[in-house]
Amino acid sequence: MMDLLILVFEFFKIGLFSVGGGLATLPFLYRLADKYPWFSTSQIPDMIAISESTPGPLGVNMATYTGFQHSGVIGSICATAGLVLPSVIIIIMVSKVLEKFRSNKYVDYAFYGLRPAVMGLIGAAGFGVLVGALFHSAKLEELSLGNIGSMIGIEECILFAALLFATNKWKKHPIFYIVLSAIVGIVFAL
């Protein structure tokens, strides 16, 4: 029970502080993985892939999946409820002073600083995913100049370069590339 309350509280915090779309929840998930034994950082990319390949908002999907890893169906519901609760409360409050809020210069000012910071946070989370994808170790601390050569996955790097090129050249739906990479992973036993 206590554990579930902590789960709701943690996702309430994520809902309150993740501004700017689903991927903004990423740095918070990494923090959760460090802090609690609910899931490991190496599971986070799997969660992203599943969230991207299922309908609905990314943040909700991530919360549901994380909650499920925590304690099954009840965990899913608690995490998702925690995530959306702060925004529901804020929206109900804001909708009364809608116009004032939109034209408030301090909201604009705050976002001038928030947007690049959130980008940096998402970038940092992406960096963690990248290290886990290209090296045979998800932990940055385990890598050093001496072992970096033996830890790096050559096939993974080739796939990475090919995908980076392909996703920018042909704007297909992410699911297409996710399925494709899963097949490549199975065929070449990555």
Partner 1 sequence: MKDLWNLFVTFCRIGGFTFGGGYAMLPMLQKEVVEKRQWATEDEVLDYFAIGQCTPGIIFVNTATFIGYKQKGIPGAIAATVGSIFPSVCIVMFIAAVLNNFAELAVVQHAFAGIRVVVSVLIINAVKGLWKKSVVDKLCVVIAAASFLVSVWVDISPVWIVIAAAILGIAVSSGREAKKS
For residue 112, give the amino acid letter: Y
- The span of 1-9, 109-117, 144-152 binding partner 1 (CB under 8 A) equals 109-117
What's the CA gap between 13 and 173, in Å, rounded?
A: 31
Instruction: Please list every residue from 62 through 91 that binds partner 1, using CB under 8 A.
Output: 64-65, 68-69, 72-73, 76-77, 80, 83-84, 86-88, 90-91
Looking at beta carbons only, is 5 or 19 nearer to partner 1?
Answer: 19
- Cβ 146 to partner 1, closest distance in Å? 20
Looking at beta carbons only, is 142 or 188 nearer to partner 1?
Answer: 188
What's the CA gap between 131 and 159, in Å, rounded?
A: 14
Which residues, other chains included, contact 132 with Cβ-Cβ below 8 Å and sequence gap of 6+? Answer: 41, 42, 45, 138
Q: Is 18 in the site for partner 1 (CB under 8 A)?
A: yes
Task: Convert residues 22-61 into a mask of x (bound to partner 1 by CB under 8 A) and - (unbound).
Answer: xx--xxx--x--x----------xx-xxxxxxxxxxxxxx
- Cβ 3 to partner 1, closest distance in Å? 18
Q: Which of 66, 85, 87, 91 is nearest to 76 (CA)?
A: 66
- Count the neighbouring beta carbons within 10 Å of the beta carbon of residue 90: 13
Instruction: Please list every residue from 142 through 161 that binds partner 1, using CB under 8 A.
Output: 156, 159-160
Looking at beta carbons only, is 151 or 177 nearer to partner 1?
Answer: 177
Contact 135, 141 (CB under 8 A): no
Which residues, other chains included, contact 119 with Cβ-Cβ below 8 Å and sequence gap of 6+? Answer: none
Choose which of 9, 36, 167, 172 interacts with partner 1 (CB under 8 A). 167
Token pair belonging to 64:
């549901």
Choose which of 114, 143, 151, 152 interacts with partner 1 (CB under 8 A). 114
- The span of 1-9, 14-22, 144-152 binding partner 1 (CB under 8 A) equals 14-22
Q: Which of 88, 75, 91 is nearest to 36 (CA)?
A: 75
